[in-house]
Amino acid sequence: MRIATDVAEGIKFINDHGVSYRDLNTQRILLDKNGNACLGDMGIVAACRSIDEAMEYETDGYRWLAPEIIAGDPESVRETWMSNVYSFGMIIWELVAGEVAYSAYSPVQAAVGIAACGLRPEIPKDCPQVLRSLMIKCWDNCPSNRPQFMEILSTLVRSSSNSNSKTR
C-alpha cells in the first residue's frame, strides 16, 4: 500500500503541474533506503550495446501501456493522464502478484492481447478487495471511466488508515 500510495502521490503531483508521465511502469519506481518510492526515468539514460537492445527495451513497455495507446496511430496518438491510470493499475497488480505482468507472452503478444482482445492479468484470489476494485477501475477500456489520481490517492489513504486503526 505504501509503494502504491507513494507512486500515486508522485503522479498526482506531476499531473497537478501540467505534466504527463510517459512510460509509467514498475521499472521506473525507485526505492530509497527507508522504502519510500520515487518515480525515475532511468530508461532514457540506460546504456545499450546495440540498436536491437534499445528496440527490445522500448517494446517491453507494452506490458503496462493502456489499450488506447497501443492501438493508436503512433503519429497521431496523444498520451493522456488517464493512460497513466491504466499503467498504475498494472503496477498495483505487479505489487500484489509479485511477478511481471504477462511474463508468458512476448511484448508484442501482450500488446495485441491488451489492445485487441481486452487482455488483463488475473487478479490473485488473496488480493485485498480495495486493490482488486481499484485495478478493475484503472483497467477500464474507456479512459474517461478510469478514476482520477486524486480519487486513487484518496482510496489508498483511506484504506491504509482503516488498516492502521484495526491493528491498534
What beta strand segments (E) does the chain contain? 29-31, 37-39
Does the annotation count 23 as an active-site position?
A: yes
Of the candidates 87, 88, 159, the residue with the CA atom closest to the CA atom of residue 128 = 159
Given the residues 23, 41, 60, 140, the one annotated as active site: 23
φ and ψ of 29, to 5 deg:
-100, 125
**Cβ(90)–Cβ(98) below 8 Å:** no
- What cell does 22 get? 510517459
Active site residues: 23
